[in-house]
Amino acid sequence: MRVLHIAAAAVLAAGPAWAGQPAPLTIDDAVREALGSNVALVAGRASVGPLRERPAQARFLPPPMVEAQIWRWPVTTLNPAKVDMYMFMGQQSLPARGARAAEAAMAEREAELADTGVAVRERDTVEAVTRAYVDLLVTRRARTVFDETLTALRQLSDVSLARYRTTTGGSQDVLKTVLEISRLHQDLIDLDEATRTAEVRLATLLGRDPGSPVGALTEPPPIPAPVDARALAALAEQRAPELQRAAAGTHAAEASLTIAQLARRPEYVVRGGYMLMPGEAGALTASFGVSWPQAPWSRGRLDARERERAAAVEAARAETAEVRQQIHAAVHEAVTAYEAAVKRAALVTTTLIPQARQVVDTSRVGYSAGQVDFLTVIDGQRMQLAAELDAIYAGGGVLIAAAALERAVGIRLSDPAAVAALVAGREQ
């Protein structure tokens, strides 16, 4: 498998020398830059910050209430000094026992849920960066092949023109070459557009100015063989942020159920005050209040709320099981797609390209000897161009399939040390 991958990816290894950047941008460097500078990820992480401050708020008591009252204010005067009595009161609400801890736990679960959401976006960004990187690498390599084909056609045009001058060839051969070169230039317009689009998309994902150029790229490292779908599925279950997000959703639902259960416990209100009567001795006042959540006319509401929260917990657990199955299925499908992409790339590289080049060489020799017509040479040149482009896109398909596989598993499979460390940790 490794040999096939290397053979398929070799068609992308060569590329033009891009001036202005002495050190090529590797795929790992691109991923690190995107994880640190991608605008959407930065905004997502910033949105989690406020949620992390909520658990501390929930652990404190609500603020007390202080009030002042004036009693028996005569309607015949606006002077408050003519009042017979003043009342100063203070009130403190006391939540049910365990309610503050439950609210803090709920806030922690919400922050955890937001964190896992950012982790999912990070993994999606890594895959998007890899795809944009490969698209740009492929289009640049295709441009090189087009340039090589144009050079070959210009040489062929010189041959046809020389034959025309010596009356051994017709003017139609010269015109056919000009038309073929014109057709390739039209294809180059679309290819240049695709290259620029891929460059803009990659720069945007990296957090750069979309109009900034991206320098030279390097071939991403291959995935070591063999590819064990079951082992990778086990690693994916260990690393998948989607599963962590589902688990966080379950924890949040359980915390919400705990809050609903604690609603059956009474809450308390403590009040105290001082009564001031001008010219007389003051007096202290105190009062104590307690809620009655188990009142017959309120109990049904609490029962329904608990049933709702319990059903939400069961739904979250079922969703976790569904996500786990989806992760396993995604890994197996990605492995199948990757193996098929490697086989397609190997077939094109080892079979179609050598045959196409042989056809071109044979037709050129025959044309020079006057044994084949010029259209046969043009068809052979087209066949070679198509085969080389197929090889480039097939090699890019391998890299895209590898990116999808790494997205499903959640780690860079091209790093054997990281994979071995994760496998060892899972086995322990």
Instruction: Residue 393: give its domain's CATH number.
Output: 1.20.1600.10
Predicted confidence band of residue 17 (pLDDT cuts 50, 70, 90): very low
Which tokens belong to 404? 């999808």
Residue 333 in 3-state DSSP? helix
Do residues 93 and 268 make contact, with C-beta atoms less than 8 angstroms apart? yes
Categorize the per-residue pLDDT at 170 as very low, low, confident or very high, splitting at 50, 70 and 90.
low
pLDDT digits (tens, 9 = 90+) for 353-402: 787 777 777 777 776 666 666 677 777 777 878 888 888 888 888 888 88
Q: What is the pLDDT of residue 278?
A: 75
Instruction: Tell me whether residue 73 is exposed, middle or buried, using C-beta atoms within 10 angstroms of its C-beta: 0 to 12, 13 to 18, 19 or more.
Output: middle
What is the tally of structural domains in the chain?
Answer: 1
Across the range 70-85, mean pLDDT stands at: 80
pTM of this structure: 0.77
CA angle 181, 183, 184 (to 5 degrees): 65
Give the three-class secondary structure for 371. coil
- Give the mean pLDDT of 4-24: 46
Find the domain containing 14 and state its range.
Answer: 2-427
